[in-house]
Amino acid sequence: MAEISFQAITKQFGSSTKPSVDAVTFTVPSDTTCMFVGKSGAGKTTLLRMVNRLIEPTSGKIVIAGANVLEEDPIELRRHIGYVIQQVGLFPHMTVAENIRVTAEVTGGWKKSRLDARVDELLDLVGLPPSEYRRRFPRELSGGQQQRVGLARALTTDPMILLMDEPFGALDAITRAQMQDELLRIQSNVRKTILFVTHDLEEALKLGDLIAVMHQGKLEQLGAPVDLLTHPVNDMVARLVGSDNILRELQYLTAATAATAGARGRFAPGEALPGCPRDASLLSAMLKLFETGAPALVLESPGAGVGGGAGGGSGASGGGGGAAGDYITLASIISTLMKGRSREGWPESATLAASGADSGNSGNSGNGGNGGKGADGLALAKA
């Protein structure tokens, strides 16, 4: 359990006239992944490196699991904080196994036999079969494999926290995507609090539970990816996350986001409709509607049956006859996409028309199938 709380944290380097990180305050809940995004020079790396005290703050506090990091012994602190950077920094004359154990050996407290087992465990975890890779040297590895070793090394002491500074930035697109999937898999196994700097927005949307947008040393917005896409606080954030990018929304918003009760009554009871998982992307739902020519898809929750709770309360609850929000239609998808755009000057009438098209037949669902759905009700497609 390691919640990380930044409290008016500030860094002004001696040589500069304004702070590189300027009174930044926010909290990253335990076991979540927070992505730092923003232009080059925004202060992301500086913010990250103050967590393990590679950079000492000018003022403010960073509190991890209740303890102020400035009151910790820096060496002891780093035992609990893994650190992964783009330049992996493996020692060329040491084998993979030696590179992985070196942190644990330096920080001490590990028995040799326990460390041997730990190295193999970690190689397995990062997808490098130990018998094949344990004795290799870094020069005998691809860039992606070196980065895997770097990740294994950061996990050796089983830290509660991982700091990652553009770790996949130097990898080709395919390897980068594999490493991202690997990190998601590892995170679902071992649960760390991860702070991850990236300039790749797709990476931020894919990996982040939270995204912190930095701009000129200040925290511009903190939110779930879906909040940033649908409710950017200003034009700078909107441009950065590409809130105007419909394809991106189709890829990253879930089918549950467009759940509607309004489709009921449009087709005969008992008419067989194709199903669609609630956590599928809007894009795949839309393609399925096109492919099947069906008027609607039935949203299905994994394991919970149709209309189960996985939608996180996204359905309007006003419907009198059974669970609301259990269908998805082209109109409900369009209405969802329009909603995120109303702040950018879409004509209000167009938005109303789109929701109206869907709520028209629902009769008893009050303010329409999609009505009253805030950002909280939205969910992000991770598939």
Name the binder of 13 from Mg ion, ligand ADP, none, CB < 5-8 A by kind. ligand ADP
Which is nearer to ligand ADP, 167 or 262 (by Cβ)? 167
21's tokens: 């990180």
Q: How far is the CB of 208 from ligand ADP (least distance, A)?
A: 16
Site size toward ligand ADP, by CB under 6 A: 12
Residues that bind Mg ion (CB under 5 A): 45
Of residues 325, 211, 323, the one with CA closest to residue 257:
325
362's tokens: 């629902």
Q: How far is the CB of 5 from ligand ADP (least distance, A)?
A: 20
Which of 13, 74, 181, 343 binds ligand ADP (CB under 6 A)? It is 13
Which is nearer to ligand ADP, 13 or 290 (by Cβ)? 13
SS3 letters for 64-83?
ECCEEHHHCCHHHHHHCEEE
User: Does 15 sit near ligand ADP (CB under 6 A)?
Assistant: yes
Half-sphere exposure of 372 (CA within 13 A, CB side): 15
- Candidate ranges 12-20, 84-92, 131-139, 321-329; the one touching ligand ADP (CB under 6 A): 12-20
Euclidean distance between CA atoms 256 and 259, whole angstroms: 5
Report DSSP state, residue 369.
T
Name the binder of 231 from ligand ADP, Mg ion, none, CB < 5-8 A by kind. none
Which of 2, 4, 9, 20 binds ligand ADP (CB under 6 A)? It is 20
Output the CA–CA distances (angstroms, integers) from residue 106 to 40, 54, 151, 155, 192, in the order listed: 33, 17, 17, 14, 22
Contact 181, 127 (CB under 8 A): no
Which is nearer to ligand ADP, 15 or 349 (by Cβ)? 15
Q: How far is the CB of 338 from Mg ion (least distance, A)?
A: 36
Which is nearer to ligand ADP, 241 or 380 (by Cβ)? 241
Of residues 90, 75, 87, the one with CA closest to residue 157:
75
What is the edge-to-edge ordering of all strands in the sheet holding 59-64? 21-28, 4-11, 59-64, 67-68
Contact 8, 61 (CB under 8 A): yes
Site for ligand ADP, residues 37 to 76, rule: CB under 6 A: 38, 40-46
Contact 173, 208 (CB under 8 A): no
Query: Cβ-closest residue to Mg ion?
Result: 45
Q: State the sign of the Cα–Cα–Cα–Cα dihedral 288, 241, 190, 122.
A: positive
Provide the residue type at 351 as one letter.
T
Name the binder of 302 from ligand ADP, Mg ion, none, CB < 5-8 A by kind. none
Q: How far is the CB of 293 from ligand ADP (least distance, A)?
A: 48
Which is nearer to ligand ADP, 196 or 327 (by Cβ)? 196
Provide the residue type at 33 as one letter.
T
Place of tokens 């004359």: 93
Name the binder of 9 from ligand ADP, Mg ion, none, CB < 5-8 A by kind. none
Q: How far is the CB of 294 from ligand ADP (least distance, A)?
A: 47
User: Does 319 sit near ligand ADP (CB under 6 A)?
Assistant: no
Name the binder of 41 from Mg ion, ligand ADP, none, CB < 5-8 A by kind. ligand ADP
User: Does 362 sit near ligand ADP (CB under 6 A)?
Assistant: no
Q: How far is the CB of 45 from Mg ion (least distance, A)?
A: 3
Which is nearer to Mg ion, 40 or 131 (by Cβ)? 40
Which is nearer to ligand ADP, 208 or 307 (by Cβ)? 208
Place of tokens 């895997």: 148
Strand partners, 241: none
Give residues in contact with ligand ADP (CB under 6 A): 13, 15-16, 20, 38, 40-46
